[in-house]
């Protein structure tokens, strides 16, 4: 492991190696530690044992290697006895996203390609290779000999067999949210996966799988992440499943998430759920809002996964035409105005700010634009463009929250910093510790803690003021004595929590 800023890498990089003996100073001295480890390992394991060395191809922090040094190091590693070179991207300390959902698929493969020209041993491309097509394209372009995947195997342990047998559509795709893998690790918990809660919990789930069941007719009301993952789990257990969805599409709020720059991969989850339900013979009825629970009388059990509705903040003036709830603003893919105030700085507030910042444009599939946006230049030392200046937002954006705590506290542990950095460097104004007084044609009036009033001028005001569970059918189901269970956002509205919604959906299927 010679990358990401771990021990071996700390010897290689001048930013951390301050030694004055033969292990520090010149580049030759700094790579000596790594080379000695490889030589000693080769000597012990013999010539047929595979040694894979992860070399940092881009440091993305000050005081890293030049592109020439990376190639020189690669050649020395080859001579020392390495069998395969894997590529590492960025130190953990790098202030540039390297694996988050905003990183386009296979974004760093072109950098790995340079290594391939320098050595004869096989080279591995890495990071955000989450679809078979991305891996295939890298291999076809000759950018690497192999591709590696970490999180995609948490999302779907059958990735390889599905890809090999032409069943790509059935792959449960990693959406690079980090919410259940790295975020949990950094909270001292076991890694799992948002889209596959069984990952790394196989033993515990085995006990759930063994709960006996008899075939039932199940109705699922609401086709968001909770309802759809529940439908799959019920079908896998041999039940009859009918999914009712009031809109014309599957996926619930994930359809809004896909509109956020950096989250377009969320559509892959919807593709997976749809494919799987159809394959397992589930019935999907779109454009059908359940209003009368008598429709559900013939089902043995109803799963109420009807999600959430935006919370009404009751700010005087919010009925004015330049005020929008976040769902309407996104669903209608509105064009940002000149001055936009966003009320509420939770996960959705930050996402909406990102949407406004990028004016709804995505570069999710464009590695060149991504690198340009973050100041990555693989031809420069450390992979950093020394002249880089982040683009300022063409829209004047103010993100507001009532709480006086730091902004973005509710965001993911390993991704929150990216969102905060994005806002800061683009000039988004963040105003906290305030009350909302009223909205007028000029904008939003706020009251500061010291009672000072201020007008935040805005030609668009977006309400991201939380959500309420939409479970009005539950009382009707109880009154009609129809067995039912409420799951996901309908059970507990907590903004961005597809992790819980999906787990809820699967758990109920394995307990009935």
Ligand X SMILES: Cc1cc2nc3c(=O)[nH]c(=O)nc-3n(C[C@H](O)[C@H](O)[C@H](O)COP(=O)(O)OP(=O)(O)OC[C@H]3O[C@@H](n4cnc5c(N)ncnc54)[C@H](O)[C@@H]3O)c2cc1C
Ligand Y SMILES: Cc1cc2nc3c(=O)[nH]c(=O)nc-3n(C[C@H](O)[C@H](O)[C@H](O)COP(=O)(O)O)c2cc1C
Shortest Å distance, C-beta 378 to ligand SF4: 25
Asked whether position 99 contacts ligand Y by CB under 6 A, the answer is yes
N-to-C CA span, the chain: 46
Asked whether position 396 contacts ligand X by CB under 6 A, the answer is no
- Strand 443-448 relative to strand 434-440: parallel, antiparallel, unpaired? antiparallel
Asked whether position 307 contacts ligand X by CB under 6 A, the answer is yes
Number of residues forming the site for ligand X (CB under 6 A): 38
Asked whether position 176 contacts ligand SF4 by CB under 6 A, the answer is yes
Q: Name the nearest CA neighbour of 104 among 418, 368, 426, 383.
A: 368
Q: Quick one: which H or E segment has residue 56?
A: strand 52-58
Binder of ligand Y out of 127, 179, 229, 242 (CB under 6 A): 127
Binder of ligand Y out of 9, 30, 116, 151 (CB under 6 A): 151
> Beta partners for 485?
303
Residue number with CB closer to ligand SF4 (270 or 458): 270
By three-state DSSP, how is residue 445 classified? strand
Which ranges constitute the DSSP H helices of 301-346? 326-331
Q: Rule CB under 6 A: which of 95-154 touch ligand SF4?
A: 151, 154
Asked whether position 226 contacts ligand SF4 by CB under 6 A, the answer is no
Beta carbons within 10 angstroms of residue 493's beta carbon: 19
Binder of ligand X out of 86, 130, 253, 414 (CB under 6 A): 253
Rounded Cα–Cα distance for residues 191 and 279 (Å)? 29
Q: Contacts by 245-248 with C-beta closer than 8 Å and gap 24+?
A: 245/284, 245/285, 245/286, 245/287, 245/288, 246/222, 246/287, 246/288, 246/289, 246/290, 247/286, 247/287, 248/286, 248/287
Residue number with CB closer to ligand X (135 or 227): 227
Q: Name the nearest CA neighbour of 375 among 129, 94, 36.
A: 94
Residue number with CB closer to ligand Y (55 or 487): 55
Residue number with CB closer to ligand SF4 (123 or 195): 195
Asked whether position 150 contacts ligand Y by CB under 6 A, the answer is yes
Asked whether position 194 contacts ligand SF4 by CB under 6 A, the answer is yes
Shortest Å distance, C-beta 496 to ligand X: 3
Helices and strands in the chain: count of H runs, count of E runs: 19, 19
Shortest Å distance, C-beta 486 to ligand X: 10
- Sheet architecture: strand order including 434-440: 434-440, 443-448, 453-457
Q: Rule CB under 6 A: which of 161-180 touch ligand X?
A: 177, 179
Q: Which range, of 117-125, 189-197, 371-379, 388-396, touches ligand SF4 by CB under 6 A?
A: 189-197
At residue 85, φ and ψ (nearest 5 deg) are -105, 120
329 included as an active-site residue: no
Rounded Cα–Cα distance for residues 470 and 492 (Å)? 9
Residue number with CB closer to ligand Y (38 or 296): 38
Place of tokens 């894979």: 52
Which residues contact ligand Y (rule: CB under 6 A)? 1, 4, 54, 99, 126-129, 149-152, 181-182, 185, 191
Which residues contact ligand X (rule: CB under 6 A)? 177, 179, 221-227, 244-247, 252-254, 256-257, 260, 289-290, 305-308, 330, 348, 351, 470, 473, 488-490, 496-499, 501
Which positions are catalytic? 6
């Amino acid at each position: 492991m010679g990358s990401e800023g771990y021990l071996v890498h700390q010897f290689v990089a001048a930013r951390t190696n301050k030694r004055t003996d033969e292990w520090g100073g010149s580049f030759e001295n700094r790579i000596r530690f790594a080379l000695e480890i490889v030589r000693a390992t080769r000597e012990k394991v013999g010539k047929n044992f595979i040694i894979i060395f992860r070399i940092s191809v881009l440091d993305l922090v000050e005081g890293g290697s030049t592109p020439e040094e990376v190639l020189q190091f690669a050649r020395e590693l080859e001579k020392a006895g390495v069998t395969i070179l894997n590529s590492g991207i960025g130190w953990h300390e790098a202030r540039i996203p390297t694996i988050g959902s905003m990183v386009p698929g296979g974004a760093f493969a072109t950098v790995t390609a340079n290594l391939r020209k320098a050595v004869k041993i096989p080279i591995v491309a890495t990071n955000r290779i989450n679809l078979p097509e991305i891996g295939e394209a890298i291999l076809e372009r000759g950018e690497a000999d192999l591709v590696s995947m970490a999180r995609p195997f948490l999302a779907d342990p059958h990735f390889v067999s599905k890809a090999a047998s032409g069943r790509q559509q059935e792959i449960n795709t990693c959406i690079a949210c980090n919410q259940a893998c790295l975020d949990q690790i950094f909270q001292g918990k076991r890694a799992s996966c948002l889209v596959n809660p069984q990952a790394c919990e196989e033993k515990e789930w085995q006990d759930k799988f063994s709960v006996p069941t008899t075939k039932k007719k199940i109705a699922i009301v609401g086709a968001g992440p909770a309802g759809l993952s529940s439908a799959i789990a019920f079908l896998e257990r041999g039940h009859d499943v009918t999914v009712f969805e009031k809109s014309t599409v599957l996926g619930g709020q994930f359809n809004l998430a896909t509109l956020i720059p950096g989250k377009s991969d969320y559509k892959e989850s919807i593709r997976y759920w749809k494919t799987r339900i159809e394959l397992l013979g589930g019935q999907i009825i779109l454009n059908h809002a359940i209003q009368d629970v008598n429709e559900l009388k013939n089902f043995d059990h109803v799963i109420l996964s009807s999600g959430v509705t935006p919370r009404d903040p009751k700010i005087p003036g919010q009925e004015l035409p330049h005020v929008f709830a976040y769902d309407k603003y996104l669903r209608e893919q509105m064009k940002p105005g000149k001055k936009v105030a966003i009320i509420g700085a939770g996960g959705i507030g930050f996402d909406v700010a990102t949407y406004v910042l990028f004016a709804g444009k995505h570069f999710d599939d464009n590695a060149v634009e991504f690198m340009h946006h973050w100041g990555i230049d693989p031809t420069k030392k450390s992979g950093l463009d020394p002249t880089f200046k982040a683009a300022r937002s063409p829209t004047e954006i103010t993100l507001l929250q009532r709480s006086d705590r730091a902004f973005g506290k509710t965001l993911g542990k390993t991704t929150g910093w990216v969102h905060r950095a994005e806002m800061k460097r683009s000039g988004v104004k963040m105003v906290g510790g305030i009350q909302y007084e009223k909205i007028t044609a000029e904008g939003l009036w706020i009251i500061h803690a010291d009672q000072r009033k201020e007008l935040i001028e805005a030609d668009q005001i977006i309400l991201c003021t939380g959500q309420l569970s939409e479970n009005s059918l539950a009382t009707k189901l109880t009154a009609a004595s129809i067995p039912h269970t409420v799951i996901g956002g309908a059970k507990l509205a907590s903004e961005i929590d597809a992790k819980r919604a999906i787990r809820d959906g699967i758990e109920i299927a394995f307990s009935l």
